[in-house]
């Protein structure tokens, strides 16, 4: 799927700015956590647009934090090395060799690429992982999954210091256990936990679908707004399965624990974060706390 932006005249551009103004005022000074992942990361043009959007958020007074995954990149390297990948409930089974590969890809490659793309616009992005300054304390999720971790605790002090200095943290989702063992943690889960720890106004999930669909086979069934209780019901009754479960569960947990709202957006769409945050109509799916 590809998206093209139609040219707009000067008057329309002015109207767009006027429409964005109240949202800029409303969210100025607030933290917005953006989970960046999926195939949008592998497209150079989309990556450059994402970097520009993050810089724009900061320029208008919002304090963005980028949390990134790197599933496609990890899978690609595992394939090159002849190592098979197994997923269970959307999570990658991770043995000792795989966690080393994931660490190398996420911290040493993907994180550096995102930081570099943001810093094209100025020296404002700082890359780190959950292992830095005790940011993410991890625990093993399930012995059958190997070194797949859960977030046991978040110490956001390093993020708060970076934000205070008007820097943009870019976080890769490798956490560390009390014994120093590295764990690969689902990026959706980490984004929600970071948003909660920072009392973020919003947590935004960029993915490869337009949002949450009521019928997965009908793109027109996009759910534009839904309550956390309604989503939890969909998880409990088995309506939602597979790779979407960690994302939805993270959304529900975040808004139930102090985050203003969670958003599921199509990261392949140009400037999708700006469209969601700064326009009346919005785009994608917005999750808020409440009853069904």
Please write the tens of the pLDDT for every residue from 24-73: 999 999 999 999 986 667 778 888 999 999 999 999 999 999 999 898 89
Domain-embedded: residue 1: no
Whichever domain contains 79, its CATH number is 3.40.1160.10
CB 181 within 8 A of CB 147: yes
Q: How many domains does the chain have?
A: 1
3-state class (DSSP) for residue 135: coil
CB 149 within 8 A of CB 177: yes
The tokens describing 256, both together, are 């139930």
Q: What is the pLDDT of residues 220-279, one digit of tens each?
A: 788 889 999 988 888 888 777 666 777 888 899 999 999 999 999 988 888 889 989 998
Domain-embedded: residue 69: yes
What whole-number distance in Å separates Cα of residue 193 and Cα of residue 216? 27
Q: How confident is the model at residue 7 (pLDDT cuts 50, 70, 90)?
A: low
Its pTM stands at 0.91
Domain-embedded: residue 5: no
Judge whether residue 181 has pLDDT over 60. yes
User: Which domain covers residue 267, as residue numbers?
Assistant: 10-288
Most distant CA pair in the chain, distance: 60
Backbone angles phi, psi at 194, to 5 degrees: -65, -40
Domain-embedded: residue 204: yes
Judge whether residue 184 has pLDDT over 80. yes
- pLDDT attached to residue 260: 94
Domain-embedded: residue 249: yes
């Amino acid at each position: 799927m590809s998206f093209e932006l139609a040219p707009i005249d000067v008057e329309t551009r002015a109207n767009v700015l006027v429409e964005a103004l109240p949202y800029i005022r409303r969210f100025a000074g607030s933290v917005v956590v953006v989970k960046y992942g999926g195939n949008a990361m592998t497209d150079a043009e989309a990556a450059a647009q994402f970097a520009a959007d993050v810089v724009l958020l900061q320029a208008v007074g919002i304090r963005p934090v980028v949390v990134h995954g790197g599933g496609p990149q990890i899978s690609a390297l595992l394939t090159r090395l002849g190592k098979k990948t197994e997923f269970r409930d959307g999570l990658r089974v991770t043995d000792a060799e795989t966690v080393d590969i994931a660490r190398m890809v996420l911290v040493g490659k993907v994180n550096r690429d995102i930081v570099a793309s943001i810093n094209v616009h100025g020296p404002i992005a700082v890359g780190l992982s959950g292992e830095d300054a005790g940011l993410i304390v991890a625990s093993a999720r399930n012995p059958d999954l190997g070194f797949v971790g859960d977030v046991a605790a978040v110490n956001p002090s390093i993020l708060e210091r970076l934000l205070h200095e008007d820097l943009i943290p870019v976080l890769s989702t490798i956490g560390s256990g009390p014994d120093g063992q590295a764990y690969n943690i689902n990026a959706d889960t980490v984004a929600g936990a970071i948003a909660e720890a920072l009392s973020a106004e919003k947590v935004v999930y960029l993915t490869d679908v337009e949002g949450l669909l009521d019928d997965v086979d009908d793109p027109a069934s996009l759910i534009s707004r839904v309550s956390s209780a309604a989503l939890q019901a969909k998880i409990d009754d088995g309506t939602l399965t597979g790779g979407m479960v960690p994302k939805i569960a993270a959304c529900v947990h975040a808004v139930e624990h102090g985050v203003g709202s969670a958003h599921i957006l199509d990261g392949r769409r140009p400037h999708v974060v700006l469209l969601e945050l700064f326009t009346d109509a919005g785009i994608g799916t917005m999750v808020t706390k409440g009853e069904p």
